[in-house]
Amino acid sequence: MNLSVTKSGEIAIVEIPGDHLDAGNVKEFKREITQVLNDNKKVIFDFGQLRFVDSSGLGAILSSLRTLNAAGGDLKLAALSKGVRALFELVRMHRIFDIFNTVDEAVKAF
């Protein structure tokens, strides 16, 4: 999957590559994101390229939030496409996550 991680101060910005996060690549995502979550307390997932998320992808994102919260950290989501945003609203996950239109807005929210 090759997650791209950049830093803005103490905030890790993780660009999710490809256009989908689903059962086909979620195990790889979980494996790669584990170290990022262990090394950082403040994380932003940049969904700028993502166009589709299924239930296993949602589960992996939720698991990432729980991991960070348990360590006293936080996760913010940025740049969701209309389809992905609609899914988050449909399953009411927009009430659980802080969602921002841009990565810059998410960075400023920390």
Alpha carbon distance 19, 42 (integer Å): 24
pLDDT score for 30:
96
pLDDT score for 100:
98
* Domains of the chain by residue range: 4-109
Alpha carbon distance 63, 24 (integer Å): 17
pLDDT score for 83:
93
Cβ atoms of residues 6 and 106 within 8 Å: no
CATH of domain 4-109: 3.30.750.24
pLDDT score for 1:
85
Intervals of the chain under pLDDT 50: none
Listing from the earlier edge strand, what are the strands of the sheet with 4-8?
4-8, 11-15, 42-46, 74-78, 98-100
Please tell me the pTM assigned to this model.
0.95
Alpha carbon distance 100, 67 (integer Å): 20
